[in-house]
């Protein structure tokens, strides 16, 4: 096991206090002149690297390394519903092709279902080298346990280096099951992926629930798994297919019937903010629901979609499908106007690809200003009414 | 009949910054709370018990000794038993190691029919631990459940909520569900229950109590993923900051939108 060891003979009350203050996770306890580490420790090694010299030591037992040359290929799990492919799968194929340029690996798609022929054609146009097809009547409906067995079979036979999943509701339920079956790492909702020449996938995402990004790696386990939200990456350009479709044997894969879908109730389709070209995001600066009406003239004029941050969803003011951020929707409109949004990292990672960002906030230190093209330091309650007047003037002209 | 609810203590504030000089993570004090999504998971369990008093609700968590607090809260809301997994052997666990450790505790508790988790935590935000626990226990799972419709002898019927549709699903027991927020109203801890639960002690479980005694399966060592580095989010250096009167600001926004042909 790996852990932090404290050299007690070097500990005094001042040093203990310094370490307690240094640790971001409150993992030090100091009682009766003994400094100890509790289970809150994340082994971030700050105490070793930045603490008083020689007090904390990192003890590491030998790491079992794997032969990485045994694993090759970047695969994308193709998500579909009733044989309509979710576009996040295409975005992932685009990213896989970029990553593969570093290592020269092949890019493949994993397609599970029945009557998959037309889906294969669509996937080939996105420029994959290979599609592994598990076509079987028994796979007609998505079943998380059965599909996990398919993925296990796939990995045993093809030993790929990386598998990417869309961070959809289904992907977020399916990918962890696959990770636990294959006893490997999985990073959720990556906002950036990079490849090293030796084939290590660098998975970048917000971490520790705060305004901080982490670069995560899976050094000694394969496959390396990651989910990515829809609209985080761009779809690849269509090309003349060059890939091959490889039918896989499905007979040996058992099905599990613990879960039966009794009924599906379609919801009325709300206009989807992920697709919108112009978005106005309202944030916590709005003091009550009725005040949202202040935005209406601008929204009408711009023909924009209204979106919001998490607190407004929690207040129940706006349909949850309109939340921007990693726990809501990822958006990349041509124009995004943020009104009274302070910009948590969760929010920013869900909209930072927007082409042009204007934000209004009365706090000069808010994080959103740091990525906005135009930052307007002021009160929405003062600016919006003025703006409405100015817009009305345009109409009269 | 037994329900196990998995809960977690999380930072109450998301104010985390990196000191630009030292690279040290700065977190906002000792402020912690129960993961808000877990309140809906607990409430779902309490609603089952309201219909049938034969159910026993066992709340569990993994964390430092101070995480006891969330278990006490769960007991005061309506849980019957509580277990805390704590050991520095578990330190530095990623999703896989965390899920595995919790599945070890669940097997130690045993005889469970249903496991209920919140849909995700506000600190990790991965929503992965629930499904991974289910896989380690070889039981089925359904995510984003908004309501339990019926519990039969050997199966459960739930309604799950997705963006485009709701699904009614029947699943064999034992099973794991993760609960979508906002479809029930979590109760508050009550003084009456606090008094009633005074004698209930929280069961503390450490590494030595678990069946798998290979330390390499826990904590940092049992974690395939490792944090390579942490850094502040990227800034856009071309930002223009407008500090002027509201009138002027409004007219600048108007001009900007006009220039870009939005108006």
pTM for the full model? 0.85
**What are the φ and ψ backbone dihedral angles of A363, each rounded to 5 degrees?**
-110, 115
Instruction: Specify if B125 maps to a domain.
Output: yes
**What whole-number distance in Å separates Cα of residue B14 and Cα of residue B123?**
8
Instruction: Please check whether residue A121 is in contact with residue A260, taking contact to mean a CB–CB distance below 8 angstroms.
Output: no
**What are the φ and ψ backbone dihedral angles of A282, each rounded to 5 degrees?**
-100, 140
CA distance A392 to chain B (A): 11
User: Residue B195 to residues A30, B69, B84, B192: CA-CA distances in angstroms?
Assistant: 32, 16, 21, 5
SS3 letters across chain B: CEEEEECCEEECCCCEEECCCCCCEEECCCCEEECHHHHHHHHHHHHHHHHCCCCEEEEEEECCHHHHHHHHHHHHHCCCEEEEECCHHHCCCCHHHHHHHHHHHHHHHCCCCEEEEECCCCCCCCCCHHHHHHHHHCCCEEEEEEEEEEECCCEEEEEEECCCEEEEEEEECCEEEEECCCCCCCCCCCHHHHHHCCCCCCEEECHHHCCCCCHHHCCCCCCCEEEEEEECCCCCCCCEEECCCHHHHHHHHHHHHHHCCCC
CA-nearest residue to A373 within chain B is B239
Q: Is B91 in the A-facing interface, judged by CB distances under 8 Å? A: yes
For A41, which of B16, B92, B127 is closest by C-beta distance?
Answer: B92
Identify all chain B residues contacting A344, using CB atoms and an 8 Å cutoff: 14
Q: Is B149 in the A-facing interface, judged by CB distances under 8 Å? A: no
pLDDT digits (tens, 9 = 90+) for A120-171: 999 999 999 999 999 999 999 999 999 999 999 999 999 999 999 999 999 9
Interior CA angle at A117 toward A114 and A122, to 5°? 120
**What are the φ and ψ backbone dihedral angles of A312, each rounded to 5 degrees?**
-70, -30
Q: In chain A, pLDDT over 90 holds for what percent of residues?
A: 67
For B131, which of A177, A263, A321 is closest by C-beta distance?
Answer: A177
CATH of the domain at B139: 3.40.50.620
pLDDT digits (tens, 9 = 90+) for B60-78: 999 999 899 999 999 999 9
**What is the number of structural domains in chain B?**
1
**What whole-number distance in Å separates Cα of residue A123 and Cα of residue A163?**
16
Identify all chain B residues contacting A361, using CB atoms and an 8 Å cutoff: none
Rounded to an integer, the average pLDDT of A84-106 is 97
CA distance B46 to chain A (A): 22
**In this predicted structure, what is the pLDDT of residue A76?**
98
Residue carrying the six token digits 């076509």 = A135
Query: How high is the mean pLDDT of chain B?
Result: 90
Across the interface, whether the CB atoms of A61 and B216 are under 8 A apart is answered yes
Rounded to an integer, the average pLDDT of A221-236 is 93
Instruction: Specify if B211 maps to a domain.
Output: yes
Instruction: Specify if B257 maps to a domain.
Output: no
Q: How many other CB atoms are found less than 10 A from the CB of residue A240?
A: 7
Confidence of residue A110 (pLDDT cuts 50, 70, 90): very high
Q: Is B215 in the A-facing interface, judged by CB distances under 8 Å? A: yes
Instruction: Specify if B149 maps to a domain.
Output: yes
**In this predicted structure, what is the pLDDT of residue B28?**
53
**What are the φ and ψ backbone dihedral angles of A129, each rounded to 5 degrees?**
-80, -30
- Give the domain extent around B82: 2-217
Instruction: Specify if B239 maps to a domain.
Output: no
Instruction: Specify if B259 maps to a domain.
Output: no
**What whole-number distance in Å separates Cα of residue B206 and Cα of residue B97?**
15
Q: Is pLDDT of B19 > 70?
A: no
User: Residue A158 to residues A75, A202, B144: CA-CA distances in angstroms?
Assistant: 10, 22, 32
Instruction: Specify if B260 maps to a domain.
Output: no
Q: Is B224 in the A-facing interface, judged by CB distances under 8 Å? A: yes
Instruction: Please check whether residue A372 is in contact with residue A286, taking contact to mean a CB–CB distance below 8 angstroms.
Output: no
The complex's ipTM works out to 0.89
Instruction: Specify if B250 maps to a domain.
Output: no
Candidate from A176-185, A212-221, B169-178 with smallest mean pLDDT:
A212-221
Residue carrying the six token digits 């005040």 = A291
Confidence of residue B140 (pLDDT cuts 50, 70, 90): very high
Confidence of residue B86 (pLDDT cuts 50, 70, 90): very high
Rounded to an integer, the average pLDDT of B44-54 is 96
**What whole-number distance in Å separates Cα of residue B216 and Cα of residue B222?**
5
Instruction: Please check whether residue B1 is in contact with residue B113, taking contact to mean a CB–CB distance below 8 angstroms.
Output: yes
Q: Is pLDDT of B15 > 90?
A: no
A272 three-state secondary structure:
coil
**In this predicted structure, what is the pLDDT of residue B23?**
55
Q: How many other CB atoms are found less than 10 A from the CB of residue A279?
A: 26
**What whole-number distance in Å separates Cα of residue A109 and Cα of residue A74?**
8
Across the interface, whether the CB atoms of B220 and A2 are under 8 A apart is answered yes
**In this predicted structure, what is the pLDDT of residue A137?**
96
Across the interface, whether the CB atoms of B128 and A186 are under 8 A apart is answered yes
Q: Is B122 in the A-facing interface, judged by CB distances under 8 Å? A: yes
Who has greater pLDDT, A178 or A34?
A178
**What are the φ and ψ backbone dihedral angles of A285, each rounded to 5 degrees?**
-65, -20
């Amino acid at each position: 096991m790996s852990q932090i060891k404290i050299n007690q003979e070097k500990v005094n009350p001042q040093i203990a206090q310094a370490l307690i203050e240094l640790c971001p996770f409150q993992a030090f306890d100091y009682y009766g002149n003994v400094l100890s580490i509790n289970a809150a420790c994340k082994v971030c090694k700050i105490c070793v690297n930045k603490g008083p010299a020689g007090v904390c030591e990192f003890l590491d037992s030998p790491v079992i390394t794997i032969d990485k040359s045994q694993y090759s290929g970047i695969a994308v799990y193709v998500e579909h519903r009733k044989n309509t492919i979710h576009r996040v799968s295409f975005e992932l194929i685009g990213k896989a092709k970029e990553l593969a340029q570093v290592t020269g690996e092949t890019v493949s798609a994993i397609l599970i279902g029945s009557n998959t022929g037309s889906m294969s054609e669509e996937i080939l146009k996105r420029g994959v080298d290979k599609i592994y097809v598990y076509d079987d009547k028994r796979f007609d409906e998505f079943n998380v346990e059965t599909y996990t067995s398919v993925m296990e079979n796939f990995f045993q036979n093809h030993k790929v280096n990386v598998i990417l999943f869309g961070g959809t509701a289904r992907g977020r339920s399916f990918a962890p099951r696959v990770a636990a079956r294959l006893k490997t790492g999985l990073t959720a909702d990556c906002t950036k992926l990079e490849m090293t020449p030796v084939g290590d996938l660098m998975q970048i995402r917000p971490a520790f629930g705060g305004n901080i990004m982490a670069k995560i790696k899976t050094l000694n386990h394969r496959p390396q798994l990651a989910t990515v939200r829809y609209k985080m990456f761009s779809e690849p350009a269509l090309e003349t297919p060059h890939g091959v479709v490889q039918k896989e044997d499905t007979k040996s894969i058992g099905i599990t019937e613990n879960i039966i879908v009794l009924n599906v109730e379609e919801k009325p389709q709300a206009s989807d903010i992920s697709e919108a070209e112009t978005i106005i995001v309202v944030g916590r600066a709005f003091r009550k629901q009725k005040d949202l009406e202040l935005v209406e003239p601008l929204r009408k004029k711009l023909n924009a979609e209204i979106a919001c941050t998490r607190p407004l969803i929690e207040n129940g003011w706006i349909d949850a499908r309109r939340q921007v951020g990693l726990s809501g929707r990822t958006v990349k409109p041509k124009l995004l106007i943020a009104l009274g949004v302070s910009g948590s990292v969760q929010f920013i990672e869900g909209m930072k690809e927007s082409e042009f960002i204007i934000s209004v906030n009365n706090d000069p230190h808010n994080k959103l200003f740091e990525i906005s093209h135009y930052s307007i330091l002021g009160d929405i309650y003062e600016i919006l009414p003025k703006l409405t007047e100015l817009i009305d003037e345009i109409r009269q002209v | 009949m037994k329900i196990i609810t998995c809960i977690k203590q999380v930072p109450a504030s998301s104010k985390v910054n990196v000191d630009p000089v030292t690279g040290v993570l700065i977190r906002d004090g000792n402020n912690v709370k129960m993961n808000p999504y877990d309140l809906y998971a607990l409430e779902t369990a309490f609603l089952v018990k309201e219909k049938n008093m034969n159910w026993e609700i066992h709340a569990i968590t993994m964390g430092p000794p101070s995480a006891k607090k969330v278990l006490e809260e769960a007991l005061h809301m309506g849980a019957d038993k509580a277990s805390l997994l704590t050991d520095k052997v578990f330190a530095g666990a990623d999703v896989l190691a965390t899920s595995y450790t919790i599945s070890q505790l669940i097997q130690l508790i045993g005889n469970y029919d249903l496991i209920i988790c919140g849909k995700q935590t506000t600190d990790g935000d991965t929503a992965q631990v629930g499904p991974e626990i289910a896989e380690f226990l070889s039981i089925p799972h359904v995510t984003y459940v908004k309501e339990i419709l019926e519990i039969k002898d050997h199966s459960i019927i739930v309604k799950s909520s997705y963006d485009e549709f709701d699904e009614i699903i029947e699943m064999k027991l034992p099973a794991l569900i993760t609960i979508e927020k906002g479809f029930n109203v979590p109760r508050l801890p009550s003084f009456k229950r606090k008094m009633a639960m005074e004698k209930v002690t929280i069961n503390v479980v450490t590494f030595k109590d678990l069946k798998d005694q290979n330390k390499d399966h826990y904590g940092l060592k049992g974690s395939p993923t490792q944090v390579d580095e942490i850094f502040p989010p990227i800034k856009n250096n071309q930002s223009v900051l407008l500090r002027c009167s509201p009138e002027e600001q409004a007219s600048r926004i108007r001009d900007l939108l006009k220039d870009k042909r939005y108006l």
